[in-house]
Amino acid sequence: MTEVTMTVNGKSVSRPVRGNELLVEFLREQLRLTGTHVGCDTSQCGACCVHVNGELVKACTMFAAEADGAEVATIEGMANADGSLNVIQQAFQDHHGLQCGFCTPGMVMAAAALLKDNPTPTEAEIRHYLQGNICRCTGYHNIIKAIMAASGQDAGKIAAE
């Protein structure tokens, strides 16, 4: 066991971790932040996406020990300070960008990372960016719309073209 200290959603936490403890296990089991999900074991589905030092990372493919000293953001920390949905979350609700909700935390984290680098992405750029996030419910249509809407674009118009 080694002791790690990191900032998770703005709060500093220190815990002992096993050498083989994945970041996602640390978040779900030690911190009880169960919004980060595990949907595969080959680093492809993206349900576990979080931000580490501002970058999108698959929490199932990184050890907790490697996040020592890092700033980690998860879905639980995404809402506005007053608890209301942030602009991306709200766009997902407004545009029905989720159904079963299981891939959703990863989708929201990926969308947030994309919009940080590329504030008005095209449809093609969004689809390309989401290569590592699999959704089985929505056919992606409304996820793409939601992300476009969150970036201030007229998603309905683009989808109808």
Minimum Å distance from CB 75 to another protein? 4
Alpha carbons 128 and 148: distance in angstroms, whole number: 14
Minimum Å distance from CB 151 to another protein? 16
Q: Which lies closer to another protein via its Cβ, residue 7 or residue 127?
A: 127
Q: Which lies closer to another protein via its Cβ, residue 15 or residue 127?
A: 127
Tokens of 63: 């050890």
- Nearest CA to 70 out of 48, 89, 50 is that of 50
Coil vs helix vs strand at 15: strand
Q: Which lies closer to another protein via its Cβ, residue 66 or residue 152?
A: 66
Angle, CA of 115, 118 and 124, to the nearest 5°: 95
- Other beta carbons less than 10 A from residue 91's beta carbon: 24
Q: Which lies closer to another protein via its Cβ, residue 7 or residue 30?
A: 30
Minimum Å distance from CB 119 to another protein? 16
Minimum Å distance from CB 152 to another protein? 18
- Nearest CA to 146 out of 99, 97, 75, 105 is that of 97
Minimum Å distance from CB 12 to another protein? 19
Alpha carbons 143 and 127: distance in angstroms, whole number: 10
Alpha carbons 151 and 135: distance in angstroms, whole number: 21
